[in-house]
Amino acid sequence: MDETTHGRSLLGEFLTTRRAQLKPADVGLPDYGDRRRVPGLRREELAQLAGVSVAYYIRLEQGLSLNASPQVLDALATALRLDDAERRHLHTLSGDARKSRRRLPAERVTPAVRQLVDALGDSPVVVLGRRSDILTWNRAGHALFAGHLAGDSPDRAATRPNSARLIFLDAHTQDLYVDWHSKARDVVGKLRQAVGEYPDDPHLASLIGELTMRSPQFATLWAEHRVRAWGMVAYRMRHPMVGELDVLQHSLAVPREQGIRVVVTTAAPGSASQAALRLLNQTLQPTTDRPATAHPATGTPVHIVPPLHS
């Protein structure tokens, strides 16, 4: 499938799926119950809501027109009740952004990115590529998210972990999130955004195919065509060493590094969760240099054995 054909498919799938998910009552239209032969809105209903002709909308849904004006796309986004991330995704899929896209650069961790990671101190940090590959992490990031993996695994392409693959195929990572389904939806939504931005990335397409085949949960979420924006998200984690903790994961885009993001995890100052993160950091010190530390939940003095491969 060439890039243009792939773009048509993505645009048509997105419009069709989102139209099917919107009920007539959601937009103030009468619902005729069993008399309706299609799920969600009809094409003519959506076209009317967006103020475009039915014939023109059909061409958009079939991918025969990839050059809709920003005004038309905004009208469709409003009619479909899209949020800001989904609205941007629709504009990307229209094809305007792809016309000027250059060859994708090789992903790398620059000295500037390593300097930023070092400057963040003891906060758990993970650097993700455009396909959600883990390009590097600091010791705290490794201990929080993947202490069961080799600490140097991001340094080798053959062993580099992928955060989406871990969420859906790795039991340890799944157990880290109390509300795994919320985390899974966020991961899929961000992959949806990536596919819209990088439709010509064969490795990304291969990852989507693998997850669709190996994970029924991923396949179900992927079919919903939901998009999630990068930003700040709250999660409750359940770490095997320090128990439950409430954290914020902040995603910082790296300037001039296409698609690379620095994800920093923090907890509220003075909270038990912040104490748990500090306790986890104690596992990174040699045992002989580490005094007994009070567990944030029980107050019991503990010595924690460092995770393997840290």
- For 84, residues 6+ apart whose C-beta sits below 8 A from its C-beta are 229
- Nearest C-alpha neighbor of 264 from the set 254, 272, 276, 256: 254
Identify the pLDDT of residue 78.
81
Walk along the chain (310 residues) and give the pLDDT tens digit of each residue.
444 444 457 777 888 888 887 777 666 666 655 565 666 778 887 777 777 777 778 888 877 766 777 777 777 888 778 877 788 777 777 764 444 455 677 788 889 899 999 999 889 999 999 899 999 999 999 999 998 998 899 988 888 999 999 999 999 999 999 999 999 999 999 998 888 888 778 888 889 989 999 999 999 999 888 888 888 899 999 999 999 999 999 999 887 777 889 999 999 999 999 999 999 988 766 544 444 444 444 444 444 444 433 3
Show the DSSP H helices in the chain as ranges.
3-20, 43-50, 54-61, 70-79, 84-93, 96-99, 111-119, 139-146, 163-169, 171-175, 180-197, 202-214, 216-222, 272-282
Each as own residue / partner, the long-range contacts of residues 292-295 (CB below 8 Å, 24 or more positions apart, any chain) are 295/242, 295/243
Identify the pLDDT of residue 33.
56
- Report domain extents, the chain: 3-99, 111-302
Q: Is the pTM of this model over 0.75?
A: no
Query: At 279, is the secondary structure helix, strand, or coil?
Result: helix
What kind of architecture, by CATH, is found in domain 3-99?
Answer: Orthogonal Bundle (1.10)
What kind of architecture, by CATH, is found in domain 111-302?
Answer: 2-Layer Sandwich (3.30)
Identify the pLDDT of residue 286.
53
